[in-house]
Structure 1
């Protein structure tokens, strides 16, 4: 990807890659198979070790092997962004360096939250700036209150962080209006916002976001890409209709049951989802069959 700008690398659709397990063990072979199938799509790249990837349930050794597996099996046009956040700056820096050595091109860092009452704007700014100073790869801020004990990163934090040359963007999975983060950034800064859900994707693009990291792209990547193409074509009428269609589709498939629902939808559509790792439980057969019936009724099963 010589001479490709940061913005170009981040523009488009990324699935937050699911971690496949068989009998509680990571199945690297199944992961490689999924990546090879995704390589045939127009996805911009891959983001393993996020909340959908059950990163909290993985050891560092497993995590590094996941990065290595994806790096070895992706095609050259696919960008590799990796979740590297830990509760301390030093642990995050250490793991980010290891991730970069395995092929990660960007680090997505979830805000620390165990000591949530101490996570002031000042503390968060210092955390991310220290990481950016020492990271060998560009950093993105991951704003996900649902997975961070309710911590929502403020626009003020983003305004400050966006001025650091090695902090190049954010993934927003909050319930906040994504535009408040886009508008917090000076237009001259190399900082790009990505939507963290299908519900925010199209509206985010219209507000100035450059792409999305979408769980739905794990099982219906080409449909997510099609919505992005409507945006690129400036076809607002079709874009709005397709946005509403995909949001409804998501509610009735993988979006109903989180990680387990996404994995079930992947199984139905020819990818390997499998079971999540305990303590997460899989969906029952009744729900999985309901997903299959609905997808068939929509003409999405071959």
Structure 2
């Protein structure tokens, strides 16, 4: 049986680039900031985060060359080993819809020290794709991958008679049905999925499905704002953006969510934490990778607010004025972080 990632809270980390103030800044292709990458990764590991997703959509994977991908993955792995975090879980994203190139990226990820890969559903021809085609695509990648993979994809969120799918800018509205997850879960080298949408019913149809062996296939939500209900229907945890800047708070909510018997005080704490995390997650929902980087820089001091690559440019629109709209909420969550 292939190794499966342990349950818990993972962070889809951004890839850090030098900002405009750096001497080697290049407006066309800002250089990697490996030092910031390592510092942030170690901070998360020390805060109780179970593992990292590196070079996913949040990590601007499509903006990196394969050589740069290896540098990021290997740099973080070497730092973990040096600092005593042996075998710390790393899930390496892929950023291509070419099966052969996805396999090459997974081979490189293994060489760099990653235990798992995370493959985004191919969405360029989403309108013409069939579930059988998606099954064959993931099967072809998994057959050749030297490390087990997880599926990062969308499922339908029904709104009236219209279908809406998470992350249209990345997955192009590609649809993966619960039955397709059931089929793919039976592949020996496919060990889980990340569902980044708000439909708890769909999470339940995967995470609670009796046709899936949940000891060999784990279901993670991509949204900490629904961590408690997802865990209640069998989810293994979250791969959550705001855990990149409020790690202890999200980890604490997970611990309370998986606990079977709570005191009245713990039950109140769990509701309070879920409310605050759900609220601050709106920053991520509104600004995506740019918002995550902004928060990490402002709240934790890692990286530059403008440390992105084109076509992403600068920090959140509105700068200080926009951040002021979120400061009160961020301060409220920070109180929880300080307490923990």
TM-score, length of structure 2 as denominator length: 0.81
Of residues 174, 181, 188 in structure 1, which corresponds to 2:206? 181
Question: What residue is the counterpart of 2:311 in the other structure?
Answer: 279
CA separation in 2, counterparts of 1:248 and 1:279?
A: 28
Question: What residue is the counterpart of 1:17 in the other structure?
Answer: 13
Question: What residue is the counterpart of 2:159 in the other structure?
Answer: none
Aligned-residue offset at 1:255: 4.1
Once the two structures are superposed, what CA deviation does each residue of 1:220-279 show, in whole Å capped at 9, x if it has no partner? 01111010110132348343332122101222x444321111111111222414222221
CA separation in 2, counterparts of 1:232 and 1:47?
A: 22
Q: 1:166 to 1:299 in 2, by over 3 A?
A: closer
Map residues 43-122 of structure 1 onto 2, 5 A cutoff: 43-74=49-80, 75-76=85-86, 78-122=88-132
Question: What residue is the counterpart of 1:124 in the other structure?
Answer: 134
Larger Cα Rg: Structure 1 or Structure 2? 2
Of residues 33, 36, 41 in structure 2, which corresponds to 1:35? 41
Once the two structures are superposed, what CA deviation does each residue of 1:151-193 show, in whole Å capped at 9, x if it has no partner? 1211111111111111110011134331122244624351110
> Does 2:291 correspond to 1:295?
no
CA separation in 2, counterparts of 1:85 and 1:268?
A: 28
Counterpart contact for 1:265–1:291, Cα < 8 Å: no
Gaps of 5+ in 1: none
CA separation in 2, counterparts of 1:125 and 1:299?
A: 43
Q: In the comparison of the two structures, how many residue pairs are matched?
A: 297
Aligned-residue offset at 1:77: 5.4
Q: 1:97 to 1:185 in 2, by over 3 A?
A: farther
> Does 2:175 correspond to 1:140?
no
**1:21 is paired with a residue of what secondary structure?**
coil
CA separation in 2, counterparts of 1:294 and 1:129?
A: 43
Question: What residue is the counterpart of 2:280 in the other structure?
Answer: 249
Counterpart contact for 2:277–2:333, Cα < 8 Å: no
CA separation in 2, counterparts of 1:65 and 1:142?
A: 23
Aligned-residue offset at 1:205: 0.8
Aligned Cα RMSD in Å?
A: 2.2
Q: 1:296 to 1:174 in 2, by over 3 A?
A: closer
Question: What residue is the counterpart of 2:249 in the other structure?
Answer: 223
Counterpart contact for 1:44–1:77, Cα < 8 Å: no
Question: What residue is the counterpart of 1:150 in the other structure?
Answer: 173
Counterpart contact for 2:193–2:220, Cα < 8 Å: yes
Q: 1:132 to 1:181 in 2, by over 3 A?
A: same
CA separation in 2, counterparts of 1:102 and 1:67?
A: 6
**2:97 is paired with a residue of what secondary structure?**
coil
**1:169 is paired with a residue of what secondary structure?**
strand
Gaps of 5+ in 2: 19-24, 155-165
Counterpart contact for 1:14–1:212, Cα < 8 Å: yes
CA separation in 1, counterparts of 2:106 and 2:257?
A: 33
Aligned-residue offset at 1:85: 4.4
Question: What residue is the counterpart of 1:159 in the other structure?
Answer: 182
Of residues 186, 195, 218 in structure 2, which corresponds to 1:192? 218
Counterpart contact for 1:10–1:211, Cα < 8 Å: no
Once the two structures are superposed, what CA deviation does each residue of 1:40-86 show, in whole Å capped at 9, x if it has no partner? 11110111111111111111111111111111122225201110242
Aligned-residue offset at 1:99: 0.9
Q: 1:297 to 1:94 in 2, by over 3 A?
A: closer
